[in-house]
């Protein structure tokens, strides 16, 4: 199996984090941790130009939900985290992807 583990930028403000390229993975998981008062949404983009973004088919995470994991298999080229309703704290978010060989 090919594994990849990387940190996703989760802004400590109402904004979108930097996109990360993840297209080589069939199985994706996003891990949320930290103490924060905000809502975090995972967004995916299926085009190489990163022009059309949509929420991943997983539930948004609020500070009271962390730590938690959201898993999905949606084909995508990029993934990012969008912070909304930010009041305080520091969200920590990681991506893990793998493919069976």
What would the pLDDT profile of 18-70 be if each residue is shown by its tens digit?
999 988 888 999 999 999 999 999 999 998 899 999 999 998 999 888 899 99
CB 68 within 8 A of CB 32: yes
The domain segmentation of the chain, as residue ranges, is 2-96
Q: Check: CATH 2.60.40 for 2-96?
A: no
Dihedral of alpha carbons 55, 58, 60, 63, sign: negative
Largest CA distance in the chain: 43
Cα angle value 66/55/5 (rounded, 5°): 55
What 3-state class would DSSP assign to 88?
A: strand
pLDDT of residue 3: 81
d(CA 17, CA 46): 17
């Amino acid at each position: 199996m090919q594994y990849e583990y990387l940190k996703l930028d989760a802004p400590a403000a109402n904004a979108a984090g930097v996109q990360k390229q993840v297209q080589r993975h069939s199985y994706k998981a996003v891990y949320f941790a930290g103490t924060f008062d905000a809502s975090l949404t995972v967004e995916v983009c299926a085009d190489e130009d990163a022009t059309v973004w949509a929420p991943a088919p997983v539930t948004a995470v609020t500070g009271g939900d962390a730590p938690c994991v959201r898993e999905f298999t949606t084909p995508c080229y990029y993934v990012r985290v969008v912070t909304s309703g930010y009041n305080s704290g520091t969200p920590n978010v990681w991506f893990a992807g793998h493919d069976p060989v």
